[in-house]
């Protein structure tokens, strides 16, 4: 109930904020954690294909792992609805690709979602609309926002406007309402994220965006994020950057910081063999197939796992250094 009340209050604030300025401070949500202070969640990206391309099989395994871990919420890293987002708030794709696919009891939790580039190809505002929350109250999608969950602060960042290519493409149309002028939007967002990270006193800091910062997948690195967002994450001691966009499961670590780069973009369609060479000291895990990520965070420990479409745990990493199993 507290969550619903909090959502209602924030929804009101959000609507006010929308009418004032897109560059207002990032909205904050509080999510309760378990009695022992621990938190667990799943992360899934690049999924909405009406159950096809193994989306339903991945969803089934998410349900099983979600139950075992008693997950508190689910993170969607974007590209929620293919090929071109939603048409409007009444688009049946919302039911066909979300409500009717993630049906397991353990997945009847809050979903925190960002927009991907494919979502911007449709009616981006439709996914942000409170009307969708009336259709399925699990749904919460915003451009950029913060979730405080016990010892963990999550910072969700709208990465599509960073990508210069989308603004010069002539064969695709994007819904840039609320984003233009792009330079102002991006610089205000970077400022907001930097301020919010500096204000955070959470032990663990997790940043979520759709696009890769580093990836050996077909899309590779996103140079605009390497140039503009990465320095802010490093300066503020962020622990995890979780993204989708590349349709794979991937874990890259860096030798000079604690930041881990985690790609969870295997929610439906994937392409076998889509991998580029990478420094093997940094590449902890790469899987060119479907699946999802799970994480458990306690006071002193942060554990990340990746599962495939059959429910096999392919990779398990802990900040305390116990890498128990890896397909890489
Ligand atoms: Zn994408």
The model's pLDDT over 214-264, given as tens digits with 9 standing for 90+, comes to 999 999 999 999 999 999 999 999 999 999 999 999 999 988 899 999 999
Residues annotated within the binding site for Fe cation are 46, 79, 82, 117, 210, 245, 247
CA 9 – ligand 1 centroid, Å? 31
Residues annotated as catalytic are: 219
Residue-wise pLDDT for 102-143, tens only, equals: 999 999 999 999 999 999 999 999 999 999 999 999 999 999
pLDDT value of position 10: 54
CATH of domain 2-326: 3.60.21.10
Question: pLDDT-based confidence at 82, cuts 50/70/90?
Answer: very high
pLDDT value of position 2: 52
Query: pLDDT averaged over the chain?
Result: 92
CA diameter of the chain: 53
pLDDT value of position 197: 98
CA 143 – ligand 1 centroid, Å? 15
CA 80 – ligand 1 centroid, Å? 9
Q: Domain segments of the chain: what residues?
A: 2-326
Instruction: List, in sequence order, every beta strand (DSSP E) within the chain.
Output: 27-30, 39-44, 73-76, 110-113, 139-141, 145-149, 152-157, 204-209, 240-243, 249-253, 260-264, 283-287, 291-297, 302-308, 313-318, 325-326
pLDDT at 23 over 50: no
Question: pLDDT-based confidence at 158, cuts 50/70/90?
Answer: very high
Q: Is the peptide bond before 83 cis (omega within 30 degrees of 0)?
A: yes
Q: Of 210, 187, 207, which Cα lies nearest the Cα of 197?
A: 207
pLDDT value of position 15: 46
């Amino acid at each position: 109930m507290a969550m619903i009340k909090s959502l209602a209050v924030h929804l009101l604030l959000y609507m006010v904020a929308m009418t004032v300025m897109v560059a207002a401070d990032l909205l904050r949500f509080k999510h309760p954690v378990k009695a022992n202070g621990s938190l667990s969640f799943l992360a899934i990206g690049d999924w909405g294909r009406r159950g096809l391309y193994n989306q339903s099989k991945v969803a089934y395994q998410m349900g099983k792992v979600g139950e075992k871990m008693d997950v508190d919420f689910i993170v969607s890293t974007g590209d929620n609805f293919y090929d071109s987002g939603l048409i409007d708030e009444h688009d049946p794709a919302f039911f066909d690709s979300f409500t009717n696919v993630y049906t397991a009891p353990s997945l009847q939790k809050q979903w925190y979602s960002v927009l991907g580039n494919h979502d911007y190809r449709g009616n981006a505002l439709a996914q942000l609309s409170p009307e969708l929350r009336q259709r399925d109250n699990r749904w919460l999608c915003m451009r950029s926002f913060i979730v405080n969950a016990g010892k963990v602060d999550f910072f969700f960042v709208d990465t599509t406007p960073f990508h210069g290519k989308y603004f010069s493409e002539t064969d695709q149309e994007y819904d840039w309402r609320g984003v233009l002028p792009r330079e102002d939007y991006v610089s205000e967002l970077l400022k907001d994220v930097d301020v919010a990270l500096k204000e955070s006193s959470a032990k663990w800091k997790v940043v979520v965006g759709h696009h890769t910062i580093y990836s050996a997948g077909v899309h590779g690195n996103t140079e605009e994020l390497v140039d503009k967002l990465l320095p802010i994450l490093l300066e503020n001691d962020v622990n995890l950057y979780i993204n989708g966009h590349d349709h794979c499961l991937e874990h890259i670590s860096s030798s000079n910081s604690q930041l881990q780069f985690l790609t969870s973009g295997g929610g439906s369609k994937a392409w076998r063999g889509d991998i580029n060479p990478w420094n093997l000291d940094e590449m902890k895990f790469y899987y060119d197939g479907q699946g999802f990520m799970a994480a458990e965070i306690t006071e002193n420990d942060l554990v990340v796992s990746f599962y495939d479409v059959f429910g096999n745990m392919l990779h398990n990493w802990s900040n305390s250094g116990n890498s128990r199993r890896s397909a890489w």
